[in-house]
A = this chain, B = another copy of it.
């Protein structure tokens, strides 16, 4: 990695971030290209990987997902996991169960019979789940979710910090009336809904602001709810000057409401999203400032825990959701 950094003229940290991040969007295309070129040119790989190439036999890591392969964007988790496994010369044996418990049990059986080095147990969206008993007989990591029983280590996005950072982004621009359109009720117990809400509250309180229930709405994650609740907030008696939409789909709906009200983003309303959906966020007009779910980095980290033979201690490792800055945030109108 030292040589790659030198060849690319960047720091080792930059090399690591560019190789480990889905979009690497904090770096210019030029920087990313230089790092990738240096990797190719130097044939950078770990010793274990080189050994596999020499000896021609790869070990395997099992990857069981409920619907990861068919959920847009979450597939990047598989890419991250496979990439990291391959750096140590292992391949990924994947099963997408669609939630079928019998298929899950049988494929776990098969994976164990193939003597996989471990199993990554991945979920389509962040929640608490029950890990199958068979997983306790093998090195295992829960990915993009948390083991309810706390037996298996988990890797998941830091939802609280994400919600906090999103709200801070709007407060720092000078907004003091910041609405929230959440993706689910707090009663759902969904870590993404509860955590992003907690982060929102903490950021407001830190700034000396009250959480105003009139500025908070709980939807179901669809763009229709983003539309409906943005419309309610913006036509209310004391409309917000900024809205944190806890997912990009909701933000899309909010954009449509703003347009129907003949208002402009960001001049009249600033919007921050969450998810950085690749087919949506960059293409909204204006481009959506949002936070990225670190799918590639999470996939890599889960495999790393297996390779490091981490203790089955039920720890939960939370990973940062980086800010992706675009054009949907500015100062509120009242400000100079």
Contact = CB atoms under 8 A, between A and B. Distances in A.
Nearest to A71: B75
Contact of A69 (B69, B110, B252, B279): B69
Nearest to A22: B70
A125 to B, nearest CB: 14
Nearest to A74: B75
Interface in A101-150: 102-103, 106-107, 109-111, 113-114
Interface string A316-333: 000000000000000000
Interface in A75-105: 75-76, 78-79, 82-83, 86, 91-96, 98, 102-103
A126 to B, nearest CB: 18
Contacts of A263: none
A302 interface: no
A225 to B, nearest CB: 12
A229 to B, nearest CB: 16
A56 interface: yes
Contacts of A70: 75-76, 78-79
B283 A113 contact: no
Contact of A94 (B56, B92, B114, B283): B92
A56 B110 contact: yes
A72 B282 CA distance: 15
Nearest to A106: B53
A172 interface: no
A156 interface: no
A69 B68 CA distance: 9
Contacts of A60: 93
Given A72-B73, A91-B95, A91-B107, A283 B56 contact: no
A103 to B, nearest CB: 6
A258 interface: no
Interface of A: 52-53, 56-58, 60, 67-73, 75-76, 78-79, 82-83, 86, 91-96, 98, 102-103, 106-107, 109-111, 113-114, 222-223, 249, 252, 256, 277-280, 283, 285
